[in-house]
Amino acid sequence: MFESGFYLGTGWSLLQLVFTAIVLTYNPLAVYQTFLIASSLLHKDGDYLAKQTPLLKSNQAIVVITTNGLATDVVEMIIAKIRGYGLPLGRDGDGIFVIKEERDKFAYSCRMITVPSGYVSGNRSRNKMRALQYGIEWLHRNGYGKETYVCHLDDDSVVDREYLDYVIRYLRAEGAQGCIRLRMFGRHTISSLSDIIRISNCEAWCKHSNKRSRPQFVHGEGLVVRADIEYEIGWDYATYGAEDLIMGLEISKRYRFDYIPTGHIFIAPPTSVMDYYKQRRRWFWSIFKNDGKVRALSPKTYLIYMYMYLAGMSGLLGLVLFPTLVTAGVDIPPAVLFLSIMNFVFFMLYYQFGAFENNDLWCALALLVLQVPVSFYEGFTSVYALIRPPDFEVFETIKKV
């Protein structure tokens, strides 16, 4: 037997204790996420939809696409696709808007809200928050209020017809969001495979939480907010990021946040390693660089994010340490061995669940072979974020199409 040289009084080696701590840290997340998978599979969207009753008077819905001007062709595709649904959007059937910066001279084929170069919000927010704040102020000035729901899209995402139809015919809560799918697999295979976990998170965490008006994972794509509530809360947070999560938490604290059970939000993954890592780095730091806003709105949500980052990194360490211990001949107590195998099975299942929900057999098969390297590819983004923090004064653009 291999002797570590670091035995404690109980007869346990330091390696055994470290591995046990790692296994016990990750196990609650593995078990709970598996419970969420089972809940998602058992409680079908169709059953949830069947319990809803149509509104006596339909909502007015508009779609707002916020762009930095670097993907004009994709924005035009999104506009054409949404217009092709034939839904009665807006007041006059032309309820598609693009929020763009004054420097963006492209003439989009819909109504444009141009953010003046000299516009400064009350809290001096920058980048996307600044644009969104100007956008909701513009909509408010032009009479969009309680009768109107705003469906927000980034310039690489789109929602399908069923999603918008639900907003028009059924939605009663002040805010809501449904689940994402991959719009296109992307030009970078490992980034695309890694993005499958976003589908798993949505189908597990978002669905479970949003139905209870306790949003935990809120993303900018497909976020629906009633216009008067969006204006009341605003986007002027002056944080590094997390504006979508803050909006969702603000809505749920004051009003109701619901789940959209039909249709999907279609996203595109980053197209390079660097863009993928910059995107995840921004997400990582947005939780900790928001002036305590997330923590103040929901201590539970803040702790969940901290725990998930910790458990994710410890889980990767466990994947390295397990074969090391086995190869070195270090004894692993039976209970710890059982829990470590359970963790690995549930970890594999979580990715497969996302591939299943995306209805992608090729992706499921690819993940069976590549899931461990894909998880390291994703997990190292937290390490990258820590050792190479971004310039918090600059909003890094990500190419995803």
Whether residue 81 has pLDDT greater than 60: yes
d(CA 150, CA 265) in angstroms, rounded, equals: 14
d(CA 153, CA 160) in angstroms, rounded, equals: 12
- As a whole number, mean pLDDT of residues 318-325 equals 92
Q: Report the relative pairing of strands 148-154 and 111-115 from DSSP bridges.
A: unpaired
* CB-facing half-sphere around the CA of 289: CA atoms within 13 A: 17
Confidence of residue 184 (pLDDT cuts 50, 70, 90): confident
What pLDDT score does 277 carry? 96
The residue among 184, 153, 399, 393 whose CA lies nearest residue 278 is 399
- Name residue, tokens 């704040």: 133
**Average pLDDT taken over every residue of the chain:** 93
Q: At what angle do helices 14-42 and 334-357 cross, to 10 degrees?
A: 40
Whether residue 104 has pLDDT greater than 60: yes
CA distances from 210 to 63, 73, 154, 179, 194 (A): 21, 33, 21, 10, 24
The residue that leads in pLDDT, 31 or 7, is 31
Question: What are the pLDDT digits (tens) for 260-294?
Answer: 999 999 998 898 999 999 999 999 999 999 989 99
What pLDDT score does 251 carry? 98
Q: Beta partners for 99?
A: 66, 113
Q: What is the DSSP string of 131-197?
A: HHHHHHHHHHHTT--TTEEEEEEETT-EE-HHHHHHHHHT--SSEEE--EEESS--S-HHHHHHTHH
The residue that leads in pLDDT, 103 or 5, is 103
Share of the chain above pLDDT 70, in %: 96
69 close to 103: Cβ distance less than 8 angstroms: yes
Dihedral (Cα; 99, 286, 393, 64), 10-degree rounding: 0
Q: At the fourth CATH level, which superfamily is domain 52-273?
A: Spore Coat Polysaccharide Biosynthesis Protein SpsA; Chain A (3.90.550.10)
**What is the gyration radius of the CA atoms in the chain, in angstroms?**
23
CA distances from 284 to 141, 165, 371 (A): 35, 34, 22
- Name residue, tokens 């390297």: 373
364 is written with which tokens?
Answer: 């499921």
Question: What are the pLDDT digits (tens) for 323-366?
Answer: 999 888 888 999 999 999 999 999 999 999 999 999 989 999 99
What pLDDT score does 9 carry? 45
Whether residue 398 has pLDDT greater than 80: no
What pLDDT score does 4 carry? 45
What pLDDT score does 10 carry? 52
* CB-facing half-sphere around the CA of 79: CA atoms within 13 A: 22
Question: What are the pLDDT digits (tens) for 4-14?
Answer: 444 444 557 88
Confidence of residue 185 (pLDDT cuts 50, 70, 90): confident
37 is written with which tokens?
Answer: 């998978």
Question: What are the pLDDT digits (tens) for 153-183?
Answer: 999 999 999 999 999 999 999 999 999 999 8
What pLDDT score does 183 carry? 82
- For the ranges 172-181, 242-251, 308-317, the lowest mean pLDDT is seen at 308-317
What pLDDT score does 395 carry? 73
Burial class (CB in 10 A: 0-12, 13-18, 19+), 292: exposed
221 is written with which tokens?
Answer: 């794509």
Confidence of residue 1 (pLDDT cuts 50, 70, 90): very low
- As a whole number, mean pLDDT of residues 119-137 equals 97
Whether residue 75 has pLDDT greater than 80: yes
